[in-house]
A and B are shown apart, each in its own frame.
Chain A
Amino acid sequence: MSRAFIKDCLRQVKTTIHRFAAILVISALGVAFFAGLRTTGEDMRITANDYFNKYNFMDIQLVSPYGFNDDDLEAVRDAPGVKEATAAYTLDALAKSKDSSLTVRLHSFDENARINLPRLTEGRLPQKSGECLVDPKFIEMRDCVVGDTVSVSSGTDTPIEDSLVTDTYIIVGVADYPLYISHERGANNVGSGRTDAYILVPCDDFKIPVFTSINIIVENSNNTIRFDDGYKNILKPVGDNLRIIGNERSLTEYNKHFSRLQGIIDLSQNEAEKQAALAQQRLLTPAEWHILDINTNFGFVGYRQDTERMDALSLVIPLMFFLIAILVTMTSMTRLVESDRSLIGTLKALGYANRTIAMRYLLYAVAASLIGSIFGLIVGYNLFPRVVYNAYSIMYTLPPIQIIYSNFYSAVSVAAAVLCSALPAYLVCYKSMRASAAELMRPITPKIGKRTLIERITPLWKRFNFSQKVAFRNLFRYKKRLIMTLIGVAGCTALMFTGFALQDSITVIVHKQYSELHLYDMQVYFTNGNGSAESIFTENNLIKNHTLILSDTCDIFNDNQKTSVNIIVPKSADEFDAYINLRNRTSKSSLTLDDNGVIVTEKLALLYDLSVGDEFSVVSSDGAVILLTVSGITENYLVHYIYLTHEVFEEKFGKRFLPNSALISTISDTDKNALAESLLSHPEVNSITMSEYLEENFSKMTDALNYVVLVLIASSATLVCVVLFSLNTINFEERKRELATIKVLGFFDRELAAYMYRENAVLTIIGTVFGLGLGVLLQRYIITTMEVDLVMFSREIFFASYLYSAVLTIAFAVVVNLIMLKFIARIDVVTSMKSVE
């Protein structure tokens, strides 16, 4: 390659800087969005996995109804594949600080243990009895500081002193705990039934005779990611072994107890003692060990689902984004080479080899797309995962995200971007070079004008005026451009629309749930189930009305999923709609509870394919399997519920209906916090769940998703701008001579613009309409893939979303066309005199 040739290549970039920049920017956008979003889910998983590794999060937790003793621990430690095992205690309790209490879970902290290490964020680790580490949520909810004291109580009839050496603890530090990556702390056996916070107390402070659990780290578990199937494969043989050991150990313990009791029965002189032992013996069964892995951790499962949601979101959208980008790159490159036809002829005539001439365009294409892609990779990998992760940080406690530069996605996206600009360049070039030099230097035969189909419909065609006819014919003449513009505009509109429509589906659900469906303000749990607390409500003039209910949980499962469901049994089904509105989502017609069966929430019905009249079984909280019939499906967005009358409850569950809580509506403008505090002062009241608090919590999740969607909208909007600009510039350059001729004929600039814009307008509008249609499909697909099992997104799309995405697309088109107006004004009429290029 001669120096003049290289110089020419560089000048080519300089003179066509618009086009070079457009290819560069669009490659960057496509690659950034694709690689960035595609790796986000993986980045999130790796970050969590590294956190678990760093703080030695257990691989397996063994729990058993009878707990574990030292012999069990020894047996587990000797089991094949077990790298490390420690025994731990947990205890549910109420913790009081600053005059009000929280429902807490106490975990044992052993400074010598190397499993489940706390991540200290403030203060120091406990060193002696009576010191504790607390959850950051505890600090936040109770507004306390390191150095404050906490007093714990059992929340049951058994005094806490039976389980702990002390009931007063000094907070010496604040720590994150890898068992809880979600801000949601899970269930609790006492208090409100929901853990507000965890507290870590020294292991030696526990006086419980058996360990609650054995926590295990498996050999080689760090070699895989906890989210992968490989991890499950490593755990499986270890788990199987532990199950066998568990059976043996249980049997040994069973035999030991059995023979001890048998000894009492055989030897004791005391008849009462004998009878008691006999009764105990009858109750005695070998206890099974439950082998729990990370997939039973509430936070982990939620997080995993969220990363999978990101995977779902990043499956189609970035691909579409990328396709639009490369489409425009292809068009742009094709046009560049085509417009250089006579130059290629000249170079050929000068004796340059085909290879060298092709190189000129290949270098151009590769340089633009490669620089763009690399820039895109750097921005994409750093920006998108961070933005998404940042959004999710309102739901999860995890260290800062680790950015993974995926070789696979880098290679794929860069290769695709480069190929899609280099290949058309090469092909067009190759096509041109097959012709002789002389042929190339002659003007290209103009494309034959054709009558369009519409012209054959004479009555219609006659109604068009001259310019409309021209516009129509031009539209169909340049089919390639027509298709490109349509795809470009439609794609971008669809992406933007999807963003807006997702926002519609996400943002409204919390409001709908708590303002239209769950109308009560708080749920008050009683200390016992005899309903004696009711008088408190009738006396309080801030409470508008109340109804007694029994609330419980149950599990429903099939082969591939297991779901926890809330059961709500109202005392009176008649006035229930004042608290919870049961209705069909589409028809809005009310549903009433009757003795025919139970009403289930819509998402639950969806997950388990239930329709009215179907039978399904649930496992109640005390382990019984119960067969229920669906009598209705109600609109619901958050969590799953089964509603049933107390008659059905008593019949199916075989238990007496004992209301354990009440739903309360307050009169408007009530200070609900103050009311809750005053209610809690009654000994009959155990705890209170405020709808406001739930609403706030769920709002956080929807806010996170909303934020992610906002990124989508912004990215799509950027893409629309670049795509429209590129397509319009190409259109303009292709027709420069035609426009110049018309200008010579005496067309004013605005007439000239109208001549060109008529087509653009038609294409933009058709593209926008197509885009909205495509967007509806895309949104529907994404909604169903990214929906969490616990949540149902709204299927409603607001008119505003159609409007916004259409108006934005059209506005961008108008702006781009206004910029083109400058180009039109700058057309040199003398261009028309020159030969065809």
Chain B
Amino acid sequence: MSFILFDNVIKRYKTGTVTVNAADGVSFVIEKGEFAVVAGPSGAGKTTVLNMLGGMDCCDGGRIVVDSAEISSFNAKQLTEYRRSDIGFVFQFYNLIPNLTALENVELASQICSEPLDAEKTLTEVGLHERMNNFPAGLSGGEQQRVAIARALAKNPKLLLCDEPTGALDYATGKVILSLLQRTCRDRNMTVVVITHNQAIAPMADKVIHIRNGKADRVLQNPSPLSVDEIEW
């Protein structure tokens, strides 16, 4: 059985009398240790997929299975536990707590899970050992995103979920971040799912899932993913 399974997943949003099928039967699988890119134009349903996969939202139909656990049947408390111990999040706008230093931001996540990695070591691994006592406001965008990745990794999650991780960054910095994510995936055998509207980064992924009109339009397996340095956009 695959590590992640989306089986005909349906999500409807009701606003007044209008019902929008944000996910209209999404199906795909992601294997353990894969670097997967979920790509698609805005409004296609990428974020809906991420929200459901991240345990932030529940589906209205179909099955979602992560590491043999059927999270589509979880209640709110189970979803929180799932987010707490299984998922590492990386946000577009970093979402660091401004009043905590880089190290403390990582500790914030690591202190709530059962088998965390050492916060300081994780920061060193993302190349921020020198700056770990800085507050977010004193860090550049790329550095902030690296803190966010460290925060996600320190939880020792089963799955790293990244929502437009380069969306707020410039080209060069974006590449550094993607490279960090790719390395993490390879070195730790971490399953990484990156949501993006940027089709150009697809070649670096093991698997590319194109979402369009609420469906997984195409799922492409990439037998020889490129290193980040080799791709341009």
Residues of A near any B CB (own CB < 8 A)? 443, 445-450, 466, 469-470, 473-474, 477, 737-738, 741-748, 751, 829-830, 832-833, 835-836
Q: What are the residues of chain B within 8 A of A447 when measuring CB–CB?
A: 98, 137
Contact yes or no, A751 B112, CB < 8 A: yes
| Chain B positions 83 through 98: 1 when the CB is less than 8 Å from some CB of chain A, otherwise 0 | 1110101011101011
| Chain B positions 206 through 233: 1 when the CB is less than 8 Å from some CB of chain A, otherwise 0 | 0000000000000000000000000000
Contact yes or no, A470 B91, CB < 8 A: no
Tell yes or no: B101 within 8 A of A by CB: yes
Nearest residue, chain A, Cβ from B157? A746
Contact of B98 among A446, A469, A745 (CB under 8 A): A446
Contact yes or no, B95 A832, CB < 8 A: yes
Contact yes or no, A449 B99, CB < 8 A: yes
Alpha-carbon gap, A445 to B144, bound state (A): 13
Tell yes or no: B138 within 8 A of A by CB: yes
Contact yes or no, A745 B89, CB < 8 A: yes
| Chain B positions 53 through 91: 1 when the CB is less than 8 Å from some CB of chain A, otherwise 0 | 010110000000000000000000100111111010101
Contact yes or no, A833 B47, CB < 8 A: yes
Alpha-carbon gap, A737 to B47, bound state (A): 18
Contact of A449 among B80, B85, B136 (CB under 8 A): B136
Contact yes or no, A745 B112, CB < 8 A: yes
Q: What are the residues of chain B within 8 A of A829 when measuring CB–CB?
A: 56
Contact of A830 among B57, B95, B100, B151 (CB under 8 A): B57
Q: What are 22 residue pairs bridging A and B, where the CB atoms are less than 8 Å apart in the complex? A: A447-B98, A449-B98, A449-B100, A466-B104, A466-B107, A469-B104, A470-B99, A473-B100, A474-B99, A477-B99, A738-B98, A741-B95, A741-B97, A743-B80, A744-B89, A746-B83, A746-B84, A746-B85, A746-B113, A748-B77, A829-B56, A832-B91
Tell yes or no: B111 within 8 A of A by CB: yes
Contact yes or no, B97 A833, CB < 8 A: no
Tell yes or no: B198 within 8 A of A by CB: no
Contact yes or no, B93 A836, CB < 8 A: yes
Nearest residue, chain B, Cβ from A470? B100
Alpha-carbon gap, A443 to B144, bound state (A): 15
Q: What are the residues of chain A within 8 A of B91 when measuring CB–CB?
A: 741, 832-833
Among A445, A744, A745, A829, max chain B CB count under 10 A is at A745
Contact of B93 among A466, A470, A751, A835 (CB under 8 A): A835
Contact of A742 among B97, B113, B137 (CB under 8 A): B97
Tell yes or no: B135 within 8 A of A by CB: yes
| Chain B positions 30 through 71: 1 when the CB is less than 8 Å from some CB of chain A, otherwise 0 | 000000000000000001000100101100000000000000
Nearest residue, chain B, Cβ from A473? B99
Tell yes or no: B192 within 8 A of A by CB: no
Alpha-carbon gap, A426 to B165, bound state (A): 38
Contact yes or no, B93 A745, CB < 8 A: no
Contact yes or no, B80 A738, CB < 8 A: no
Q: What are the residues of chain B within 8 A of A474 when measuring CB–CB?
A: 99
Closest 8 CB pairs of A and B: A746-B84, A449-B135, A446-B98, A746-B83, A448-B137, A741-B95, A829-B56, A449-B99
Q: What are the residues of chain B within 8 A of A746 when measuring CB–CB?
A: 80-85, 87, 109, 112-113, 155
Contact yes or no, B136 A830, CB < 8 A: no
Contact yes or no, B56 A448, CB < 8 A: no
Contact of A745 among B47, B84, B138 (CB under 8 A): B84
Tell me the smallest distance from the CB of B24 to a CB of chain A, in Å. 19
Tell me the smallest distance from the CB of B89 to a CB of chain A, in Å. 6
Alpha-carbon gap, A446 to B101, bound state (A): 13
Q: What are the residues of chain B within 8 A of A446 when measuring CB–CB?
A: 98, 136-137
Alpha-carbon gap, A450 to B133, bound state (A): 11
- Given pairs A449-B98, A473-B100, A746-B112, 11 additional interface contacts (CB within 8 A): A448-B138, A450-B135, A466-B108, A738-B98, A744-B83, A744-B95, A746-B80, A746-B83, A747-B112, A751-B112, A830-B57
- Contact status of A449 and B137, CB under 8 A, knowing A473-B100, A741-B97, A833-B47: yes
Residues of B near any A CB (own CB < 8 A)? 47, 51, 54, 56-57, 77, 80-85, 87, 89, 91-93, 95, 97-101, 104, 107-109, 111-113, 135-138, 151, 155, 163
Q: What are the residues of chain B within 8 A of A469 when measuring CB–CB?
A: 104
Contact yes or no, A830 B51, CB < 8 A: yes
Contact yes or no, B95 A737, CB < 8 A: yes
Total A-B contacts with CB atoms under 8 angstroms apart: 86
Contact yes or no, A445 B56, CB < 8 A: no
Alpha-carbon gap, A145 to B27, bound state (A): 98
Contact yes or no, B101 A449, CB < 8 A: yes
Alpha-carbon gap, A477 to B98, bound state (A): 10
Alpha-carbon gap, A443 to B89, bound state (A): 21
Q: What are the residues of chain B within 8 A of A751 when measuring CB–CB?
A: 112
Q: What are the residues of chain A within 8 A of B51 when measuring CB–CB?
A: 830
Tell me the smallest distance from the CB of B170 to a CB of chain A, in Å. 14
Q: What are the residues of chain A within 8 A of B99 when measuring CB–CB?
A: 449, 470, 473-474, 477
Tell me the smallest distance from the CB of B38 to a CB of chain A, in Å. 14
Tell me the smallest distance from the CB of A245 to a CB of chain B, in Å. 84
Q: What are the residues of chain B within 8 A of A477 when measuring CB–CB?
A: 99
Q: What are the residues of chain B within 8 A of A835 when measuring CB–CB?
A: 92-93
Nearest residue, chain A, Cβ from B144? A446
Alpha-carbon gap, A833 to B54, bound state (A): 12
Contact yes or no, B108 A745, CB < 8 A: yes
Contact yes or no, A744 B56, CB < 8 A: yes
Alpha-carbon gap, A443 to B136, bound state (A): 14
Q: What are the residues of chain A within 8 A of B135 when measuring CB–CB?
A: 448-450
Nearest residue, chain B, Cβ from A446? B98
Nearest residue, chain A, Cβ from B81? A746
Alpha-carbon gap, A446 to B151, bound state (A): 19
Nearest residue, chain B, Cβ from A449? B135
Nearest residue, chain B, Cβ from A469? B104
Among B83, B97, B100, B109, max chain A CB count under 10 A is at B97
Alpha-carbon gap, A815 to B85, bound state (A): 32
Tell me the smallest distance from the CB of A15 to a CB of chain B, in Å. 16
Contact yes or no, B98 A470, CB < 8 A: no
Nearest residue, chain B, Cβ from A836? B93
Alpha-carbon gap, A447 to B91, bound state (A): 19
Alpha-carbon gap, A66 to B101, bound state (A): 94
Q: What are the residues of chain A within 8 A of B80 when measuring CB–CB?
A: 743, 746-748
Among B92, B99, B111, B112, max chain A CB count under 10 A is at B99
- Contact status of A745 and B56, CB under 8 A, knowing A448-B135, A469-B104, A470-B100: no
Alpha-carbon gap, A751 to B84, bound state (A): 12
Nearest residue, chain A, Cβ from B113? A746
Tell me the smallest distance from the CB of A734 to a CB of chain B, in Å. 11
Q: What are the residues of chain B within 8 A of A466 when measuring CB–CB?
A: 104, 107-108, 111
Tell me the smallest distance from the CB of B92 to a CB of chain A, in Å. 7
Contact yes or no, B93 A443, CB < 8 A: yes
Alpha-carbon gap, A469 to B151, bound state (A): 18
Nearest residue, chain B, Cβ from A744? B89
Alpha-carbon gap, A31 to B182, bound state (A): 63
Alpha-carbon gap, A317 to B213, bound state (A): 64
Alpha-carbon gap, A830 to B97, bound state (A): 16
Q: What are the residues of chain A within 8 A of B137 when measuring CB–CB?
A: 445-449
Alpha-carbon gap, A469 to B109, bound state (A): 15
Q: What are the residues of chain B within 8 A of A450 when measuring CB–CB?
A: 135
Alpha-carbon gap, A312 to B184, bound state (A): 73
Alpha-carbon gap, A738 to B91, bound state (A): 13
Tell me the smallest distance from the CB of A788 to a CB of chain B, in Å. 54
- Contact status of A833 and B92, CB under 8 A, knowing A445-B137, A449-B135: yes
Q: What are the residues of chain A within 8 A of B136 when measuring CB–CB?
A: 446, 449
Tell me the smallest distance from the CB of A2 to a CB of chain B, in Å. 25
Q: What are the residues of chain B within 8 A of A836 when measuring CB–CB?
A: 93
Contact yes or no, A745 B111, CB < 8 A: no
Nearest residue, chain B, Cβ from A740? B95
Tell me the smallest distance from the CB of B60 to a CB of chain A, in Å. 16
Tell me the smallest distance from the CB of B14 to a CB of chain A, in Å. 15
Alpha-carbon gap, A835 to B95, bound state (A): 9
Contact yes or no, A742 B108, CB < 8 A: yes
- Contact status of A738 and B104, CB under 8 A, knowing A449-B137, A746-B80, A746-B113: no
Among A443, A448, A747, A833, max chain B CB count under 10 A is at A833
Contact of B104 among A443, A470, A832 (CB under 8 A): A470
